[in-house]
Amino acid sequence: MSYETFQFSISDHIARLTLCRPDANNALNLKMAQELLEASIICTTDKRVRCLIITGDGKMFCPGGDLKEMNAQGENKPAHLSKMAIHLHDALVRMAHMNAPVVIAVNGTAAGAGF
């Protein structure tokens, strides 16, 4: 379970997910949305998970979408945003319907789609 945009582990029945894009203040990008969906599938199917804790590394929890990545898409921006929204929405729906509590440990700013 190795991800580019966050750290993820399961121990003692607790899944821990730490957003880890401090260079972008943990802003959501397409890769993070895709990886959040993958982790949410694990959290909803792995019987070891009895709780999910989500936090952020660095001075911000998550300021929302990564505007630099979005603006770099040019004409592809609408399709890019659609992919991000689909993956993020699917991940959040899975987390909302987990048979376990989800704890968001907000450290610093949380804005926009930043939960």
For the segment 76-114, what is each residue's pLDDT rounded down to a tens digit? 999 999 999 999 999 999 999 999 999 999 998 888 865
Number of domains in the chain: 1
Domain-located, residue 53:
yes
Domain-located, residue 113:
no
Domain-located, residue 111:
no
On the question of pLDDT at 53 being above 70, the answer is yes
Boundaries of domain holding 23: 6-105
**Distance separating alpha carbons of residues 55 and 61, to the nearest angstrom:** 6
Q: Helix, strand, coil: what percent of the chain each, to 5?
A: 40, 25, 35
Question: pLDDT above 70 covers what percent of the chain?
Answer: 97
**Distance separating alpha carbons of residues 61 and 19, to the nearest angstrom:** 7
Mean pLDDT of 17-37: 96
Predicted confidence at residue 112, as pLDDT, reads: 80
**Distance separating alpha carbons of residues 65 and 1, to the nearest angstrom:** 24
Domain-located, residue 81:
yes
Of 56, 66, 69, 68, residue with least CA distance to 22 = 56
CATH number at residue 26: 3.90.226.10
- What pTM, to 2 d.p., does this model score? 0.92
**Distance separating alpha carbons of residues 28 and 26, to the nearest angstrom:** 6
Domain-located, residue 10:
yes
